[in-house]
Amino acid sequence: MSTDETPADPSASKNFIEQQIDADLAAGRVDHVHTRFPPEPNGYLHIGHAKSICLNSGLARNYNGQFNLRFDDTNPAKEEQEYVDAIMDDVRWLGAEWDDRLFHASDYFETYYEWATALVKAGHAYVCDLTGDEVREMRGTLTEPGKPSPFRDRSVEENLDLFARMRAGEFPDGAKTLRAKIDMASPIINLRDPVMYRIKHVSHQRTGDAWCLYASYDWAHGQGDALEGITHSICTLEFENHRPLYDWFLDRLQELKLLPHHRPRQIEFARLNLTYLVMSKRKLLQLVKEGHVSGWDDPRMPTIRGLRRRGYTAEAIRAFCERIGVTKQNSTIDMLWLEDAVREHLNETAQRRMAVLRPLKVTLTSYADGTALPEGVIKVCELDNHPQHPELGKREIELTRELWIEEDDFMEVAPKGFFRLQPGGAVRLRGAGIIKCVEVVKDGEGAITEVQCTFDPDTSALVDGKKVKGTIHWVPAEDCLDAEVRLYDHLFAAEDPEDVPEGKTFLDNMNPNSLEIVVAKLEPELADAQPGDRYQFERLGYFHADPIDTVAEAPVFNRTVTLRDTWGKESRK
């Protein structure tokens, strides 16, 4: 290498958030990294949240810092303990650990109220009697300034009295709000006297009826970060327009010497959007409530619960999030990236088994040389549990005269290049030998009910002087297991489900073939499958023993993903 070459800059491979953190550390603004994930407990987490969880916990881990889980529980009308419990379980499942740093916005209700009172005393906040609709009407537009509230110039004493009475529950819902006094002519609409508190006489899942006054997200967000010593508040891009307000609140609290730590820095990144999915919590809730899916954990849902039940692994989701990276540019990621991530992980970790989803009966009539087959077991076949991991051992499957193959592995009139079974043709049975079709049996309506074949136990034998090219899977008819297999596909048929003509909704883009249930024939060993076990069904895809519906000796399998991108190929056609 030339001595004039400049060594590669290690920061060049870092994303813009890491570069900002490096700059903050180098400048001494912070001496450590502390991040958080602040979900609202008003629904289940989805794959978009997984990106934020992996990003925030990953930054803390990579910088030897700390990571908090903090629930933004400021809207009790939509929040439930069920969601809190599910979120904690999903975050932990993804590998993010918060240790003893589990917090709730409700932990700080008293502090938020005291700080808001301090802003009122300093003339930075006032009680407003306008309704929500009136506030919106007077806010102005991007080209026109807003109009000040007629209650904007109330005295500090009157505001303090009204704010205390709001807390005491004297006023009905919506009668009054506390608003920050900033600038109704600001070009930044979020700075036009935003609402800090609303009256809601709703019981809270943690604080009960102690409060009827609840903070807005904009007021609670930055203050919770400050109280916990968060150094970098990583948010999705839609919060970029809220950052001036985030900073305005922190500036006022610093002026009043109320902040207990260095102030946090908000940094925004592009949220995750995936083809064939909707990510809106409101729309996901609609799917659940209207019965379009079986629940939040339906394997077709983009929720982490749904992905887990379908058979996705935490390792695959983390690898996907790492692979797509972090940017400031909004975009939509092809679903194929997520599917490839789980294929890659399961290809390495899932043991192999054989299953026939759409069975066609094959009867072995004799050996290839015409001699009679023995009664009972013809051959004990040894198959690898994983071709790349011999340490996982082998399993034995008994070949008998009757077996099942896939219906589409036989064609009576086959096109050129069809290397499976056809009249007069031969195919290799996985791990067993070679069969040659000698007769096709049909019912009275002409439907094929059985294929009769000869058998050669030599897997390398020539048939009619030619090498056998095709290999298919099979299961023995006598000892096979009948089991329910759920074949899941995309919930929506359109790449962008929300791209609909006038008068239509995203529901009109639902895929009517997103779920097919079949009774499959499985090799005998699968009777021992436990809830949560994952397998590659050879030539078919990766399957997951349903963690809820699987019981002893009666597994139910969910298809996680096909072996190849069959959906993408069909869509491109």
Query: Helices in 183-303 by DSSP H: which ranges?
Result: 217-228, 243-255, 281-289
> Considering 147, 271, 379, 539, which one is annotated as catalytic?
271
**Euclidean distance between CA atoms 553 and 527, whole angstroms:** 5
Q: Give the pair of three-digit tokens for residue 562.
A: 């096909």
**Euclidean distance between CA atoms 51 and 532, whole angstroms:** 23
- Are the beta carbons of 213 and 113 closer than 8 angstroms? yes
If you search the block for the tokens 């953190």, which residue do you land on? 21
396 is catalytic: no
**Euclidean distance between CA atoms 206 and 186, whole angstroms:** 37
281 is catalytic: yes
> Considering 281, 420, 521, 534, which one is annotated as catalytic?
281
Residue whose C-alpha is closest to residue 212's, from 160, 164, 151, 179: 164
State the sign of the Cα–Cα–Cα–Cα dihedral 478, 480, 481, 487: negative
**Euclidean distance between CA atoms 446 and 452, whole angstroms:** 16
CB 530: neighbour CB atoms within 10 A?
10
CA angle 389, 390, 396 (to 5 degrees): 120
562: CB partners within 8 A, 6+ apart: 540, 541
**Euclidean distance between CA atoms 248 and 180, whole angstroms:** 10
Q: At what angle do helices 217-228 and 109-121 cross, to 10 degrees?
A: 110
40 is catalytic: yes
Which stretch of DSSP H or E encloses residue 366? Answer: strand 359-367
The CA distances from residue 13 to 32, 34, 244, in Å, are: 21, 22, 29
> Considering 14, 18, 40, 78, which one is annotated as catalytic?
40
- Are the beta carbons of 47 and 53 closer than 8 angstroms? no
Q: Give the pair of three-digit tokens for residue 309.
A: 């039940």
CA angle 186, 188, 191 (to 5 degrees): 70
**Euclidean distance between CA atoms 222 and 70, whole angstroms:** 12
The CA distances from residue 113 to 107, 118, 154, 401, 448, in Å, are: 12, 9, 19, 79, 76
- Are the beta carbons of 154 and 127 closer than 8 angstroms? yes
Give the residue numbers marked as catalytic. Answer: 40, 271, 281
